[in-house]
Structures are given as structure tokens and as C-alpha cells.
Amino acid sequence: MALLEVRDLVVEFGLREGASMALDGISFALEPGERLGIVGESGAGKSVAAFSILNLLSAPGYIASGQIIFDGVDLASLSESALRTVRGRRIGMIFQDPMMTLNPVLSIGEQMLECLRAHSNCSESEARHICIERLRQVQIPSPEQRLRQYPHELSGGMRQRVIIAIALLLDPQLIIADEPTTALDVTIQAEIMQLLRELCDNEGVALLLITHDLGVVAQLTHRTMVLYAGRVVEQAETAALIRAPRHPYTRGLLDALPERTEPGRPLNQIPGSMPGLQSMPSGCAFHPRCNLARARCQSESPALQHGVACWEAAC
């Protein structure tokens, strides 16, 4: 049985001008221990997908319909208090910017211990022991001292390690990581990715990785899902997707990678930009930017068939 199965998830933003869809019926499944990447440009709805799983959407966003079945339970139908027993304990989260993710006025220890206190009734000394153990696991030097320190005393890479330690604190089955390396320096990016990979392998944790960077996806994930304007446009084994992308958008993303450009030549950009929520084009949302677009693409929206949602690629 799949660990997480999302079915026809629709997330809307209730704006003054009327509700608009940020996620337009996406579906995917994740097996225990599997690592799935969700890729797309900013505005594609990646982060919305990540936050909607634990219902952490901030107003005016809300889940309009669909199911989020985690270990047999539909999270979308759970009450806030029932969700709290899942958050942090069975699903951990890692956020994009480690500088903003830790509370500046609380010590690292406080921020770790409160999570343990909320989910288990272990003693204070046991809890401290677990925290120190986790910090050691994410390769933070002298973890005992770190507990007393405040976030501003740690570097960005250190903070992201602390955040990973918090996410792993209660042996969750799934970690949702929203652009975990984007805000870090390149060298630290590689370290954090390596760390995430090892931890997931060693602990058998499933990973849902949200990123705009196909390079990161290639290194970390088993499968990849490409989002465009709130819809899944392609889904495949990561290796296959990188080797033979089928949707023109995926192809565009891959061609835009610096490694794929001949030295000295400009990067291959996808022309145009992602449409806003208020100005969705008719038919396939990608058609204004697509070099394969036909008349049909403008009028009819393609469904996901055999892992790709494109009239041209599907035939």
C-alpha cells in the first residue's frame, strides 16, 4: 500500500475577485521509503502542494476538494487537532530559508524540545538526549552547546541541519522538503543534499522533495513529477525523465540547465513566463509558450495519460 496517495487535489485561493485555482486536480502516490521530486518554475504550485499535505496553507489558500491519504487516513478530512498528531511526528517538514525558519527569540534546545514534548511523554533528560543524538546525526559539532544557543549564532548551513534534525526528531515516515538547498551556498548545498540522502536511506524515510532545480532532483529522487500552472504535466522515473523528457515543458526545463548549453552560448530559456492565477490561458496552460502548440492545444486541456499531459507527446 502506498504511504501517501494524493487524489485529485484542488487548492484554491479565495481572492476578492473570486476563487482561483492554485492546484487543479493533481494526483500522485509515494511508496514507503521512496523519494519523489516535484519540479516546476516558481508559481507552478509546488510549495502549495507541499503545504497542503499537512494543511499548512496560509489564508486565503484552502483545500477545495480531493483526498490526501496518508497511511490509510485522509488528512484533508482531519480536524486541526488530529492533524497535529501527524505533523512533526509522522511527517516532518524542511523549509526553504533556514534564516527564517527558526524562531529568532527561542533557543535551539527550546525549539527541539517543544516538538518532543508535544508528541511523546518522555522525561526531560531523555528528550535532551534524543535532541543531542539527532544533532550529532546531522553532523553538528558539540551538540550539547548548540541547545543553549540561539539561531542567530549559527550559520545558514548549520541552521538547515538543525531544521533537518527537528524534522527527523520523532522518526517520521515521510519528510516533505520545500527547496531545502535553494537558500544555501553551493558547497553547503551539496553537503546538505548528501546528508538528506544518507539519512533517508539509513532510516528508510520517504521524501517528497520540492524544487525548481532538476539537478537536485536527479541526485536525490527515484521518481519526478513536473508541475506547470497547478497541473501535473509529466511524471516518470527520474532517470527516464532526464534521459527522455516527453512534455515540451520538461524538455525546456532540461535544455535550460547550464550543463546542457554549449560553453560561450546563451542559456536556452523557455520564452515567456508562467501565467498568473488570474490569467490562465484556455486549453493547455502551456500552449502560449510551447513551440509545438496546435489549434487543439488552445481549446482542449490534455489529461495525464501514460505519465504525460500533452496532445503532441501523447500521440
DSSP H stretches of helix in the chain = 46-53, 80-84, 98-101, 108-119, 124-137, 143-146, 156-168, 186-203, 214-220, 238-243, 248-255, 295-299, 311-314
Residue 153 interacts with another protein (CB under 8 A): yes or no: yes
Residue 106 interacts with another protein (CB under 8 A): yes or no: yes
271 upstream amide cis, omega within 30 of 0: no
- Candidates 2-10, 60-68, 112-120, 275-283; binding stretch for another protein (CB under 8 A): 112-120
Phi then psi dihedrals of residue 221, to 5 deg: -110, 160
Among 30, 39, 76, 115, binds another protein (CB under 8 A): 115
Residue 128 interacts with another protein (CB under 8 A): yes or no: no
Residue 85 interacts with another protein (CB under 8 A): yes or no: yes
Residue 86 interacts with another protein (CB under 8 A): yes or no: yes
Q: Residue 78 is which amino acid?
A: L
Phi then psi dihedrals of residue 290, to 5 deg: -95, 135
Cβ at position 248, least distance to another protein in Å: 33
In whole angstroms, give the CA distance from residue 211 to residue 106.
Answer: 29
Alpha-carbon distances, residue 21 vs 62, 234, 311 (angstroms):
10, 19, 22
Among 95, 228, 249, 286, binds another protein (CB under 8 A): 95
How many residues sit close enough to another protein to count as binding (CB under 8 A)? 36
Residue 289 interacts with another protein (CB under 8 A): yes or no: no
Beta bridge partners of 291: none
In whole angstroms, give the CA distance from residue 209 to residue 179.
Answer: 7
Residue 287 interacts with another protein (CB under 8 A): yes or no: no
- Candidates 1-9, 37-45, 93-101, 229-237; binding stretch for another protein (CB under 8 A): 93-101
Residue 97 interacts with another protein (CB under 8 A): yes or no: yes
Residue 45 interacts with another protein (CB under 8 A): yes or no: no
The interface with another protein within residues 155-184 (CB under 8 A) comprises: 163, 166
Among 67, 107, 139, 268, binds another protein (CB under 8 A): 107
In whole angstroms, give the CA distance from residue 159 to residue 127.
Answer: 20
Residues at the site binding another protein, with contacts judged by CB under 8 A: 51, 54, 56, 58, 80, 83-89, 92-93, 95-97, 100-107, 111, 114-115, 117-119, 150, 152-153, 163, 166
